[in-house]
Structure 1
Amino acid sequence: MSHTSTATPAAFPLTIHPHWRAAAEARGFGILQRVKDRYHLLLSCKACGATHMSKIFVVMNSQPQCPRCIEARWQADAEAAGLQWAGRDPQSRHHGFYIADCRHRLRRQFELIKRAAAGTCDVRCELCQQQKEQEEAEAQGWELIGPDPDGGPNYRLYRHPECGHEQRVARANMQTGRFGCGLCGEDWPAAPSHLYAMQFKLLNGTCLVKLGFSRNPDSRLRHQLLKHRDLDAKILKTVPMATGQLALQTEKRLHAKLQAGFPDLVAPPDLYAGELRVKSEVYFADAAQVIFAMLDAIEPEEDS
């Protein structure tokens, strides 16, 4: 009695049509076999040799993406951005994990890392950034609480330990100390201030002087007036004033004298607009001696 063996038929067709192979080859892949069901193919990447499963529809109508090549690009972007690749986020197809130089683990969008790799943005560690901002606050006698409750990207919420007052402050102002406590601090009209004379040497070699007033002339010079930090600039003279209000009134009186008595020494704003963040009350260098004499005459008034 003879027995005839019969092969179990495949659950789906195994035929690979020539036009499928041609489409796959044109897109950088070879077709190894049909898998899973009648709609899927097992592809081999011509670039790296890795295999992955793809729908026939994708092979015929769009560009298949090799998972290994994609991850290699993510890793290359991470290295170019100064990070170490630590794997994709299984919870999000748009995010990956990275190790920063500080050894902290970051979760970032792939697109952000690509921009960082191209040099169009930076990747900051939140933990290190928070520590830096806390140190900035401590240097001014404050404590960092957290982000701005109103959502301002340039503001933070701080606490003044001396009185417990909590206050929104621009981070730039916290860095330079150009603010006061809303509960126990003095407003600028009542707070001590200074008149100052400053000198600027523009990139074209022109020397200018400015007369003004500020609670903190050095901070005013370094953090507010200059558009370029490397501009040659210095404080020539300061005169302490009892209050900001008195400093303002005196400054206006001196400018009126200068502009009435020495109109040819007033520098046109167009001359310095690209290098200074002010639009008036700037003079040519020849006005320096006149300004010094005015400031010297004020000092006995303040001492009397």
Structure 2
Amino acid sequence: MPHAHDNSIIISGEALPVIDMPIHDHWREAADRRGFDITARVADRYALALTCRQCGKLSRTRLFVLMHHQPRCSHCIEAAWRQEAAAAGLTFQRRDPASTAYAWYRLPCGHDARRQIGLITRVAAGETGLRCATCQEAVEAAEARAVGWELVGPDPAGDTNYREYRHISCSHQQRIARGNVKSQRFDCAGCGVTWTAAPSFIYLFRVLLPSGMRVLKLGFSKNPRSRLQHQLLGDGDLACHVLRVVAMPSGHDAIRTEKGLHTSLRRRFPDAVIDAKDFAGALTVVTEVYAEWLEAEIQQLLDGIEDDSDDDGA
């Protein structure tokens, strides 16, 4: 039986006893071919302490691996991980003892995160991005607070586009698409009213298309600026101006009035209707876009709607 002397070798922080048994020449030849030197036999009769000729550090390798495969130096591997992390803008912290596929990294924001090593390789190569879950949660929580809600957590149904939120004013919880929270296009199922009963607006926007053509978009929305910023523009770099916003008592009144406007404009000014192919990709709609020269007529119609609304409220 092999026996251990009092001396030992420290490998990766672990003290391994040196085993007093012969190191055969054909083992040394195999190590030489693979870029290592055999320093000692350690722990048991089938384990070797190898010195890497590239970094000069020790690693533990099974005899079978040395004779039949290319041993890998754990220190060189970790050095490569550190370089990849630096290239990705991160700091390698430590390996994950629970999985060889994961490690812990310090993100640019200062938070530590457990990530797949292969993912960091892709980030370093510019193939994908990386975001901090802690910071992202803070961003989403701030978005929710801005509209009177609290972020509770991930969607119970597992949809990554949704989150669970709590309405601050009534404590009702519901799952809502994050995009709808940002654009404020949702209602509280506990205390809110539906969009058909909630106050709404008729809007008139002017948009400068990439072609240089200026067009008008006439429509209705509970939140016209949110509609403009988050939904209407297929190209976020387009120049767009809010020309007019007319308050309506409810979404029902807004859609009824808007449909009447479009019916009248299409019948009286068919040449002013812009073909969808002229703004494809620039706007997310396919209808209800008009030539800029129709603005005075539309403004006059909106004047009438506003006057009627004032008379009803008098």
Q: Could you state the TM-score of these two structures normalised by the residue count of structure 2?
A: 0.84
Matched, 1:153 2:152: no
Could you list the per-position Cα deviations for residues 172-207 of structure 1 after superposition, in whole angstroms to 9, with x for gaps in the alignment? Answer: 211222211112112111111111111111122121
Q: Do residues 30 (structure 1) and 14 (structure 2) align?
A: no
| 1:15 match | 24
- Counterpart of 1:201, as a letter, is L
Residue 286 of structure 1, CA deviation? 2.0
Tell me which of 121, 129, 133 is aligned to 1:126: 133
Q: Distance in 1 between matches of 2:227 and 2:184?
A: 10
Bigger mean CA offset, 239-248 vs 73-82: 73-82
CA shift digits 1:105-160 (9 cap, x unpaired): 22222122222223333333333222222221111111111111111111111111
> Do 1:31 and 1:41's aligned partners in 2 also have CA atoms closer than 8 Å?
no
Is the Cα contact below 8 Å between 2:37 and 2:53 reproduced in 1? Answer: no
Find the partner of 2:299 among 287, 292, 299.
Answer: 292
- Number of the residue aligned with 1:100: 107
Residue matched to 1:5: none
Q: Which residue of 2 aligns with 1:230?
A: 237
Q: Distance in 2 between matches of 1:263 and 1:24?
A: 84
Aligned to 1:69: 76
| AA aligned opposite 1:286 | W
Match of 2:89?
A: 82
Which of 231, 246, 249 does residue 242 from structure 1 map onto?
249
CA contact 2:235–2:281 (8 Å) conserved in 1: no
Residue 61 of structure 1 deviates from its aligned partner by: 4.6
Superimposed CA distance per residue, residues 247-303 of structure 1 (whole angstroms, 9 cap, x where no aligned partner)? 101111111122222222222212222121112111222222222222122111211
User: How far, CA to CA, are the matches of 2:20 and 2:26 in structure 1?
Assistant: 18
CA RMSD of aligned residues (A): 2.3
Determine the structure 1 residue equivalent to 2:143: 136
The 1-side partners of 2:285 and 2:70 are apart by 55
Give the partner amino acid of 1:194.
F
Unaligned runs of 5+ residues in structure 1 are 1-9
Structure 1 residues 59 and 210: CA distance shift in structure 2, 3 A:
same
- Measured after TM superposition, the shift of residue 93 of structure 1 is 1.3
Give the Cα separation in 1 of the matches to 2:153 and 2:256.
39
Residue aligning to 1:256: 263
Cα 1:59–1:264 change in 2 (3 A) is farther
Q: Hey, what's the Cα distance between the residues in 2 that align with 1:146 and 1:71?
A: 35
Read off the aligned partner of 1:227 and give its amino acid letter. Answer: G
Structure 2 CA distance for aligned equivalents of residues 190 and 250 of structure 1? 14
Counterpart position of 2:205: 198
**SS at 2:25 equivalent:** coil
Cα gap change, 1:224 to 1:26, in 2 (>3 Å): farther
Distance 1:290 1:48 in 2: 79
Match for 1:278: what amino acid?
V
What residue identity is the alignment partner of 1:35? R
Q: TM-score, normalised by structure 1?
A: 0.87
- Contact 1:98/1:108 (8 A) holds in 2: yes
Aligned residue identity for 2:250: T
Aligned counterpart, 2:98: 91
Do 1:86 and 1:97's aligned partners in 2 also have CA atoms closer than 8 Å?
Answer: yes
Instruction: Tell me the distance in 2 between the aligned counterparts of 1:263 and 1:64.
Output: 77
Which segment is superposed worse, 109-118 or 241-250?
A: 109-118
Task: Determine helix, strand or coil for the equivalent of 1:17.
Answer: helix
Partners of 1:65 and 1:290 lie apart in 2 by 77
Counterpart in 2 of 1:169?
Answer: 176
Q: Is the deviation greater in 253-262 or in 41-50?
A: 41-50
CA distance in 1, matches of 2:189, 2:114: 37
The total of aligned residue pairs comes to 292
- The 5 Å alignment of 1:37-76 reads 40-59=47-66, 61-76=68-83
CA distance in structure 2 between the partners assigned to 1:26 and 1:275 by the alignment = 62
Separation in 1 of the partners of 2:71 and 2:215? 64
- Displacement of 1:26 in angstroms is 5.8
1:38 deviates by: 6.4
Looking at structure 2, the residues matched to 235 and 253 of structure 1 have their Cα atoms a distance apart, in angstroms, of 21
